[in-house]
Amino acid sequence: MLYATKFYYFHSRMSNELLYQISLTLIPHIGAVQAKQLMEHFGNAEAIFKAKKKDLSQVEGIGEVKAKSIKDFNQFNDAETEMAFCSKYHIQPLFITHKDYPQRLLHCYDSPTVLYYRGNADLNNAKIISIIGTRSNSDYGKQATEQFIGELQSQNILIVSGLAYGIDAIAHKASLQNKMATVGVLAHGLDSIYPTQHKPLAKEMLLNGGLLTEFRKSTKPDKYNFPQRNRIVAGMADAAIVIETAIKGGSMITAELAYNYNRDVFALPGKITDAKSAGCLKLIHQNKATILTTSEQFLADMNWEQKKKQPKKQRELFMELSPDEKTIIDILKEKETASIDDLFLKSGLSSSSIAGAILNLELQNVIASLPGKVYKLI
């Protein structure tokens, strides 16, 4: 009875939906994929907890065992504690339905149910790249990272990395030195910084960028958290830049994830005798990464070059377009280019409808396909 009184006291003071959203991440046997399936079926987190066990079990991927876990859950006080921590330290919980949740990441099948964010950078910036690499970088890797980032200064690009030793830290520092926003994705809660030597760097990043994690406070940087962290680094960016890496390691995991998420992957070439370049050379050899040579080449490959606007040609006035095709064109009129993820998000159409509309528009020479599954009006 005492617990019930406490629960409803907090219940009346705090956002009900946020309480249920965070609680959804605490249920045993319910991961990110199952949470998405439940949200698609019930519409909001509160409805999931209030649903009957029979209705829960009938959701695809849930079944009797997971439905029982939901109905048996009673650790709402842990969610309340997390909410209080977020409020005290100005941390923003971003549920998958939140407008500020990284939309690129949202389209990855295993995107985190809730992200905890502290900072001022736009996680949906028009241009985002992840820069990753070994913790034991060479001078070549350091110089290449600093030069590459310095040459991108005018592009308004958000730089994402993992706040680890080596290339990660170099990328964050170079971004700050060039007054570019940079976000560190952590493998632990926001009540600590790992490695501890990077606390000053993390504080500086909060002034121009931020810190992001899916882990609640008091979560330690255990080794199995890092592959989970890497999928965020890979999924929230338009492209992953691999500076230096051995054949095995976290950077290779992140590169593979980015490739599987249909992100552009670039790798800095190095000597064939250098173990730190072996992973980059392997990615290039397997056609999973494009060779990174210059910032100009990178911008061209990403279609991010700043070009003078040309007068637009007048399109046919009486072209017959389907409703789906008109929807795609309206989106492309708002911005010069749009990725397949942008079209999917903004149109509300199914993937098959978008694919059909894009194909017809390309055949009619209305739109053009650019590298990285990006489209523009002709």
Which amino acid belongs to residue 178? N
**Domain identity same for 147 and 293:** yes
Q: In what order do the strands lie in the sheet with 337-339?
A: 337-339, 374-377, 367-370
Q: Measured in Å, how far apart are the chain's first and last C-alpha atoms?
A: 67
pLDDT at 108 over 80: yes
User: How crowded is residue 244: how many other Cβ atoms within 10 Å of its Cβ?
Assistant: 29
What is the CATH classification number for the domain harbouring 339?
1.10.10.10
Which amino acid belongs to residue 167? I
Single out the residue of 351, 188, 167, 364 nearest to residue 250, CA to CA: 167
Task: Kindly state the average pLDDT of the residues 61-65.
Answer: 91
Picking from 268, 301, 334, the residue at the C-terminal end of a domain is 301
Residue 368 lies inside a defined structural domain of this protein = yes
pLDDT digits (tens, 9 = 90+) for 43-56: 999 999 999 999 99
319 pLDDT tier (thresholds 50, 70, 90)? low
Looking at residue 198, the DSSP 8-state letter turns out to be G
Which domain covers residue 165, as residue numbers? 117-301
**Domain identity same for 82 and 128:** no
**Domain identity same for 171 and 251:** yes
What is the CATH classification number for the domain harbouring 215?
3.40.50.450
**Domain identity same for 352 and 294:** no
pLDDT score of 358: 86
Q: Are 168 and 210 in contact (CB under 8 A)?
A: no
**Domain identity same for 129 and 260:** yes
Which amino acid belongs to residue 70? I
Residue 108 lies inside a defined structural domain of this protein = no
Residue 306 lies inside a defined structural domain of this protein = no
**Domain identity same for 260 and 331:** no
Give percent of the chain above pLDDT 90: 73
Model-level pTM?
Answer: 0.77
pLDDT digits (tens, 9 = 90+) for 268-305: 999 999 999 999 999 999 999 999 999 999 999 999 97
The label of the residue with tokens 């939906």 reads 17
Stretch among 119-123, 253-257, 362-366 having the lowest mean pLDDT: 362-366
Radius of gyration for the alpha carbons in the chain, expressed in angstroms and rounded = 22
**Domain identity same for 201 and 270:** yes
What is the CATH classification number for the domain harbouring 14?
1.10.150.20
Q: In what order do the strands lie in the sheet with 290-291?
A: 92-95, 114-119, 209-213, 182-185, 158-161, 128-132, 239-242, 264-267, 290-291
H or E element in which residue 134 lies: none
Task: Kindly state the average pLDDT of the residues 232-259.
Answer: 95
pLDDT digits (tens, 9 = 90+) for 178-209: 999 999 999 999 999 999 999 999 999 999 99
Stretch among 4-13, 151-160, 243-252, 294-303 having the lowest mean pLDDT: 4-13
Q: Are 56 and 134 in contact (CB under 8 A)?
A: no
**Domain identity same for 121 and 154:** yes
Which amino acid belongs to residue 157? I
Measure CA 122 to chain center.
Answer: 12
Residue 373 lies inside a defined structural domain of this protein = yes
Residue 292 lies inside a defined structural domain of this protein = yes
**Domain identity same for 136 and 203:** yes
pLDDT digits (tens, 9 = 90+) for 330-344: 888 887 788 888 888
Residue 110 lies inside a defined structural domain of this protein = no
Picking from 301, 333, 367, the residue at the C-terminal end of a domain is 301
Looking at residue 322, the DSSP 8-state letter turns out to be -
**Domain identity same for 140 and 284:** yes
Residue 296 lies inside a defined structural domain of this protein = yes
**Domain identity same for 32 and 71:** yes
Task: Kindly state the average pLDDT of the residues 308-319.
Answer: 46
pLDDT score of 115: 98
**Domain identity same for 49 and 191:** no
Q: What integer best gives the mean pLDDT of the chain?
A: 89
Q: How many domains, in total, are found in the chain?
A: 3
Give percent of the chain above pLDDT 70: 93
pLDDT digits (tens, 9 = 90+) for 13-24: 347 899 999 999
pLDDT digits (tens, 9 = 90+) for 111-146: 999 999 999 999 999 999 999 999 999 999 999 999
Task: Kindly state the average pLDDT of the residues 13-39.
Answer: 88
pLDDT at 5 over 70: no
Single out the residue of 105, 144, 136, 109 nearest to residue 250, CA to CA: 136
Distance from C-alpha of 245 to C-alpha of 234, rounded to nearest angstrom: 15
pLDDT at 162 over 60: yes
Residue 309 lies inside a defined structural domain of this protein = no
